[in-house]
Amino acid sequence: MTLNPAKPDLRHMAALLVVLVSTLATEAWARPPLWIVRDRDSEIVLFGSVHVLPPRLDWRPPRLDRAIRRADDLWFELQPGPGTENEARQLAQSQSRLPPGQSLSQLLSEAGRSRLAQICQTYHIDPDLLAPLAPWYAEVALGGIQYRASGADLSLGVEGALAAGAPTSVHQRAFETPKEQIDMFANAPMGDQLASLEMSLQDMVENPDAYHDLIDVWMRGDVAALDREALAPLRTALPGLYGRLVSARNAAWTRTLDARLKGHGHTVVIVGIGHLIGPDGVPARLRALGYSVEGP
């Protein structure tokens, strides 16, 4: 579901063209942020992705491309590719509906029903198509509609581009399976699903340019703004869901990377940007374990 760009999977970001202000601009100014983690004989490059991109956005840091060319392994949340996408789609659809006799609008607050009606009118959506959907799936569906309306191409994304262009010698791996990721959303408590959907409905109505605004701060590498705009609302309003979708996953991935650093070689990690920022982000957790971490 990831972003809402930083509902990790959570509010997805899309695009503004960012102009270099001078020929002396550094990569940190011109591209999204990355982090480099080192110990004596290992290096891990962490890059925060946007899962849905607009066409013709020049987002790739040269430093990231250089790291992938010499990497031993390349890690993603899920392994990119049509096989993973088809499996995730089938799993999501199998858990996409409310129990018989329930309707999405009946579960929403009065304000939520009003916002949903407004969104259906704005985006020309038949409300009857949303009525049987579970809140988590309705949020995903509405997000996809909003991204397309904002100019994003749902076939474009950081992960697909990097996986397709990686050397064949690089071993590609994934932290999670499609089932694990879908279950995180579909099995979330109903109260959390509804609260998350209500937040997204409010955001879609009150801040229709959020998609473009967030890609702007991503392209500028403004991690403080990303945390403030994308993660802080979830962390404050829904700490249980934040723990499930962000903090617990960051902790699990950090354990995997800690074990990797105890070996040797070069690794590149591509995960949603929401997992790399803030006090619970993977870079902060690796710093706390004593590793040298270069980056924001």
Contact 208, 115 (CB under 8 A): no
67: three-class secondary structure by DSSP: helix
Residue 124's pLDDT is: 95
The answer to whether the pTM exceeds 0.75 is yes
Closest CA to 281 of 249, 236, 240, 256: 249
- Domain extents in the chain: 27-101+153-190+208-294
Residue 66's pLDDT is: 96
Q: Which two tokens mark 66?
A: 């250089």
Estimate the crossing angle of helix 110-123 against helix 135-149, to 10 degrees: 40
Q: Which residues contact 164 (CB under 8 A, 6 or more apart)?
A: 80
Residue 25's pLDDT is: 31
Given a cut of 50, the residues of the chain with pLDDT beneath it are 1-30
In angstroms, the CA 268 to CA 207 distance is: 34
In angstroms, the CA 182 to CA 207 distance is: 27
Residue 39's pLDDT is: 94
Residue 230's pLDDT is: 85
Query: How many CB atoms lie under 10 A from the CB of residue 158?
Result: 24
Q: Any idea which residue has 């995180």 for tokens?
A: 184
Contact 282, 46 (CB under 8 A): yes
Residue 27's pLDDT is: 37
